Amino acid sequence: MTDRQVTHGSERTAGKWLMAMVFSIGICGPIMAAPKQPPTPSLKLSTMFSNNMVLQRGMRDPVWGWAKPGEHVEVRFGGQRRSTAAGASGRWQVRLAPMPADSKPHTLRISAGGTHIQLTNVVVGEVWLVSGQSNMQYPMAGWFHRTNLAGELAAANHPGIRFYHVPMVPSMFAGRPHLTAPAAWQVCTPKTAAGSSAVGYLFCNALHKRLGVPIGMIEADWGGTSIEAWIPAQGYLSADHLPREKRWLQKSLAAEALLHGRPAQGKTAGLINSPHGYRYHFRSAWKPDARQNPTTLFNGMISPLIPYAIRGAVWYQGENNVLAFDRHYYPKLKALITSWRSMWKEGSFPFFIVQIAPFNYGVSWCGPHKSDAPYEPLVWQAEEKAAADLPDCGIIGTMDIGDLHNIHPADKHDVGKRLALSAMAQVYGKRIPAYASPMFQSAKFHGRSVLIRFSHCPGGLTTGNGAPPTWFFLADAKGPYKPAQARLHGQTVVLTAAGILHPARVRFAWSCVAQPNLENLKKLPALPFRFNRNRTGVN
């Protein structure tokens, strides 16, 4: 719900002018007094709550808003009645008792100070947050008439699926997160699905079919954005290995504190001023703006969602950070995941990372040789490491569905399908033998050969085209990498390379233009890796 300003200065001036004209021209007769306007209701809800919403089953769903300080607020839903008093700031919150999934439309009623709000067509099911940059934002209707989802879109009449699409509104002040987002829940139809995330919709539709319960999709994404903008101040201040961002953030927060809520004037603390606050000037090939600067999109697009009850989150982002790579994507992704979880206070809720797909970024980023592409593989490595190191995380492989000539690969169907497969296994407890991409597990060196073992490949490995595995490279301790001959042996790949007598280093698909053919029996592509026997672990 949003406030409307019903009286403007120009209207008051016009009223005075009109009254003066009435008397100056001598118009007689009684002048009717202006009717009294009813007082502005003090009860307001967070914009997360609207008609058609989905509440998360099995959790103590919070309901919150604002009223006059101390005012009594009552919330009723599904036979439950909860009450509280608004705090000194006017904010109030109650929590409903956990509920089972329910497709039957219900009414949520909130009352305070003589004001009554009713929200209709409310259901209970599973709620997922989907976020990231353009490959998450890519809509079901496609861009530039480039889509292969016309059939799925035409059939997108699903009353049990609901969308909440967060507008692209940044907050340029690191210390001023937005309280609300101007959005409302919508029922899934071909019209509402057309502009919704294709990956998000296909994931949620697959869950809806498999679970048979209502699904709510909260979409907060923005094309061309960097991970820095999606991390809250708390994430930076508590993170390791991000000293530059931490120093600048501390300076910004100190400068903002001196404003006492007033607009910024000029330049303060060496930070670039903008109409909305401060810009954090990072040195990179990309001009700093609201889509790249630390905290801007978290404060504007994620903060208003908290603490709405969700089952988990899906993150599809990283292309921008390939183009402005600073070798810190892993600590930034870790800071994002841990800080979101900390601020939601739902424990380690499930978090799925979609691997960015192979794309030819050019020689500047790929390097002159296929095995020497440094930046995108390092982002892949950071994504895999975050998924492995943090609890209740998973990664979705995309090595087989990239488009080397388009950074937005058209195949979103497989991404949504793979997300649902992982969620069914890791979140909903379904017994699925192979639900994730094969990942590097170990390397054993025997003379001139190397034996690579993969996980997530019950029944063994295969290749998509029946040919020997591609994109493996070997090197000795100091020399250059050379293409390896690979053969399959169950869950392992045996490697040798001409001229490499004492292999010490291994790379697989370590290039932004790699499109390897290795996969498990569920046709899920193997993830890239590099390994050095003289160092500890995968590196």
Judge residue 326's burial from the number of C-beta atoms within 10 Å of its C-beta, 0-12 exposed, 13-18 middle, 19 or more buried.
middle
Region class of 376: left (phi > 0), else alpha (psi between -120 and 50), else beta? alpha
Q: What is the pLDDT along the chain (539 residues), one digit of tens a residue?
A: 433 333 333 333 333 332 333 223 232 333 334 444 445 668 999 999 999 999 999 999 999 999 999 999 999 999 999 999 999 999 999 999 999 999 999 999 999 999 999 999 999 999 999 999 999 999 999 886 566 899 999 999 999 999 999 999 988 788 889 999 999 999 999 999 999 999 999 999 999 999 999 999 999 999 999 999 999 999 999 998 888 888 888 888 887 888 777 765 544 333 333 333 334 444 333 334 667 788 989 999 999 999 999 999 999 999 988 887 778 999 999 999 999 999 999 999 999 999 999 998 875 555 444 444 478 999 999 999 999 999 999 999 999 999 999 999 999 999 999 999 999 999 999 999 899 999 999 999 999 999 999 999 999 999 999 999 999 999 999 999 999 999 999 999 999 999 999 999 999 999 999 999 999 999 999 999 999 998 755 55
Q: What's the CA gap between 128 and 220, in Å, rounded?
A: 11
Q: What's the CA gap between 14 and 75, in Å, rounded?
A: 43
Cβ–Cβ < 8 Å for 222, 297 = yes
Q: What's the CA gap between 357 and 397, in Å, rounded?
A: 8
- Of the candidates 216, 189, 188, 219, which has an alpha carbon nearest to the alpha carbon of residue 125? 216
What distances in angstroms separate CA 485 from CA 99, 365, 437, 469, 496, one per listed residue? 56, 26, 22, 8, 5
Cβ–Cβ < 8 Å for 424, 456 = no
Question: What is the structure's pLDDT at 172?
Answer: 74
Q: What's the CA gap between 82 and 96, in Å, rounded?
A: 7
Buried residues in 340-356 as b, exposed as e (16+ CB within 10 A): bbebbebeebbbbbbbb
Q: What are the DSSP E strand ranges found in 143-246?
A: 158-165, 186-188, 215-221
List phi, psi (to 5°) of 111. -135, 145
Q: What's the CA gap between 2 and 181, in Å, rounded?
A: 9
| Report field, pTM of the whole predicted structure over 0.85 | yes
- Of the candidates 166, 194, 199, which has an alpha carbon nearest to the alpha carbon of residue 308? 166
Q: Which residues pair with 162 in a beta bridge?
A: 187, 216
Contacts with 73 (C-beta within 8 Å, 6 or more apart), sequence order: 43, 65, 67, 83, 84, 85, 86, 92, 94, 110, 111, 112
Parallel, antiparallel, or unpaired: how do β-strands 505-508 and 461-463 relate? Answer: unpaired
Q: What's the CA gap between 54 and 46, in Å, rounded?
A: 14
Radius of gyration of the chain (CA): 27
